Structure 1
Amino acid sequence: MTRILFLTKIVPLILLGAVCLHAQRGGGRGGAQQTPTAKAGSPIDLTGYWVSLVTQDWRLRMFTPPKGDYAGIPLNAEARKIADGWDPAKDEAAGEQCRSYGAPTLMRIPGRLHITWQDDQTLKIEADSGTQTRIFLFSNGEGQAGTWQGISKASWEYLPAAVSDTLGAGRGTIDRRGGSLKVVTTNMKPGYLRKNGVPYSANAVLTEYFDRVTEPNADSYLLITSTVEDPTYLAQPLMFSTQFKKQADASGWNPTPCAAK
C-alpha cells in the first residue's frame, strides 16, 4: 500500500472509529520546497493539544501485559530471553522506571500531547504521560543523545498540488497545502517496546510520519505511522500507527511520572 492510498483510505475509516495500519512507504511525493525556516514552510499545523484515541491494541495499551506477552512483535531469541526476565521492581530500584516511555513507545501511551514551536527550526512535543519531551530538529543542533528520546531529525515532505487536491476531494481533507512531517530518531537509551519488558537497543532506529486530517465537521486528527528497526532485538521492522484528536484547549492535561508497571 502506498502512502497516498493510505491517506485516502484512513479518512473514512476514522469516521467508523477504525484504524488502518500503515504497510509501507510509497512514492508520490514531490521534492522539498525551499523555505526560509521549518516553521514558515510547514505544510501542516501540528501545534496545540491532542488526546490519544485508543482504537487498536486496547488491552496492551490500557493495561500492563503479563510477562512473556510479546505477541505481534518480531523478536529474536535474545530479545525473548530478556523479555521473559522482566522485573519491574528491579527497574524501579535502578531508577529506570521510564524504560517504556522512550521515543518508540511514548506516543502509544494513552494521554495527551502538547505540540509547540520551540524556535523557527525546532518542534517540541510534550507528553503528559511520563512527563516526557521530544525535540524535533530541522537543522543541525544539540539533540538528546543517550536519553530516552534520542536525537530526532525532522523534515517536511510535500505533496504535489494535484495529489493534495485529490486527497481533499473525499469526506475528510488533508491540509490544503499538503504534506507530512518525517522524523528519524536515533541514539536512544535502550528501553522497552512494551511496558512488560520487551526490549529495544541503542541501535534502534525509529522512523515516523505525522499527518493531519480534518473532517467536514472541523474535527482534526493527527495520524502517526511508525517503523522501528533494531538489528539487535528485532527479526524484522516493527510497524504500527497511532491516532490523536485535536483539542480546543488544555482540558485534561495531567502530567504524571513514569511508572515501571
Structure 2
Amino acid sequence: MSAPSLAVLACSVIVSAHVLAQPPAGPAASARAAAPVDFTGYWVSPIMEDWRWRMVTPLKGDAASIPVNAAARAVIDAWDPAKDEAAGDECMAYGAPALLRVPGRLRIRWRDADTLEIAADAGEQTRLLRFGPPPTDAIEPSRQGYSRAGWSFLTARPGPGGVPLGMAPGRPAPSRTLEAATTHLLPGYLRKNGIPYGSETTVMEYFDRFSEPDGTEWFTVTTIVTDPVYLGAPFVTTTDYRKEPDGAKWNPRPCTAR
C-alpha cells in the first residue's frame, strides 16, 4: 500500500471515530474546551513490561516480539551505532512510533486551543497532536511526523455483574478519550538496536485515562505501528504512565544511539 493510501486510511480512522462518538450537538468548541478529561501535567512511565528491551539497549539482532520481515532483517543485521553517531542520527529510536516506549517522563500541555503538546525529557523530543482539519500546504516528513487527534466520547459497555467488558473485577474501567493518527515520518528505529521502520509507516494511538481507588492517576496508550516495508503485521504495544505532582524530576537529556 502506498504512503498516500496509508495516510488516508489512518486519518479516516480518526475522522470516523470522531464522527461516530460526538458529544451532544452544540456550539463549536476548541479541542481544549471540549476535552472530556485532562491529560496535562507531568507523567512517568514505570517499566512494568519489556524491561530487557526498554531499560537497556538490546543485543544486535534481537527483534523478539516485533513482526519484522526479510527486508527489516537485512537492516537489523547491518546496524552500527557508530555510523549513526557519525551521521548525526542519534535520535533514530526517538521518533513517534517508539518515543513513548523510551524510559523517562512526559510533560503534556496545550500549545494552543487545538494543539496538545507532548514533550519527552528523554531525547528532548516534542510531539504535537493537532485537532481539526489537516493543513492545505504540503507536510514535510519529520522525526515526530504529523499527528491528527480527536476526542472519543464512547464508554465501556457493562458485562456480567456490571464489570465493563474486557476488564477484571476491582480494576478501574479506563475511558478511551483521545485518539491520534500519525503519518509523514522520517525513517527510524522501533528499538535502539536498529529495528527499522520506514517513511510509509503510520501510527495509531489510543490514550485511556483512569484513577486507582487510592487516587493514583494513570493513562495507558495503545500504539499500533503499521509499516508495509519492514513489518509483516502491525506491531502493537501498551505503555502505562503515572501522574506526578509536579516537574521536580523532569530531566531533559539528549538522544543517544547506544
| Same fold, TM-score > 0.5, yes or no | yes
CA contact (8 A) 1:30 1:158 kept: no
For 1:179 and 1:103, the matched residues in 2 are separated by 20
Call closer, same or farther: CA 1:144–1:250 in 2, change over 3 Å.
farther
CA contact (8 A) 1:171 1:216 kept: no
Residues 169-208 of structure 1, C-alpha deviations (whole Å, 9 max, x = no match): 9645457xx5410000000000001100000000000000
SS at match of 2:251: coil
Call closer, same or farther: CA 1:243–1:260 in 2, change over 3 Å.
same
Structure 2 letter corresponding to 1:216: P
Aligned counterpart in structure 1 of residue 77 of structure 2, from 84, 102, 115: 84
CA contact (8 A) 1:130 1:257 kept: yes
CA contact (8 A) 2:105 2:121 kept: yes
CA contact (8 A) 1:43 1:179 kept: no
Task: Give TM-score, length-normalised by structure 1.
Answer: 0.82
For 2:90 and 2:155, the matched residues in 1 are separated by 44
Structure 1 letter corresponding to 2:198: S
Call closer, same or farther: CA 1:113–1:88 in 2, change over 3 Å.
same
SS at match of 2:207: strand
Per the alignment, residue 8 of structure 1 pairs with none
Q: Where does the alignment leave 5 or more consecutive residues of structure 2 unmatched?
A: 1-16
CA contact (8 A) 2:134 2:148 kept: no
SS at match of 2:71: helix
- Aligned residue-pair number: 231
Call closer, same or farther: CA 1:68–1:157 in 2, change over 3 Å.
same
| Equivalence map 1:235-254=2 (5 Å) | 235-254=232-251
| Equivalence map 1:115-126=2 (5 Å) | 115-126=108-119
Instruction: Tell me whether 1:138 sits opposite 2:131 in the alignment.
Output: yes
Structure 2 letter corresponding to 1:79: A
Task: Give TM-score, length-normalised by structure 2.
Answer: 0.83
Q: Where does the alignment leave 5 or more consecutive residues of structure 1 unmatched?
A: 1-26
Instruction: Tell me whether 1:66 sits opposite 2:59 in the alignment.
Output: yes
For 1:236 and 1:58, the matched residues in 2 are separated by 23
Per the alignment, residue 10 of structure 2 pairs with none
For 2:150 and 2:110, the matched residues in 1 are separated by 14
How much identity, in percent, do the aligned residues show? 46
**Root mean square deviation of aligned Cα:** 2.4
For 1:32 and 1:95, the matched residues in 2 are separated by 44
CA contact (8 A) 2:156 2:173 kept: no
Structure 1 letter corresponding to 2:146: I
Call closer, same or farther: CA 1:80–1:216 in 2, change over 3 Å.
same
Instruction: Tell me whether 1:110 sits opposite 2:107 in the alignment.
Output: no
For 2:201 and 2:64, the matched residues in 1 are separated by 19
Call closer, same or farther: CA 1:162–1:66 in 2, change over 3 Å.
closer
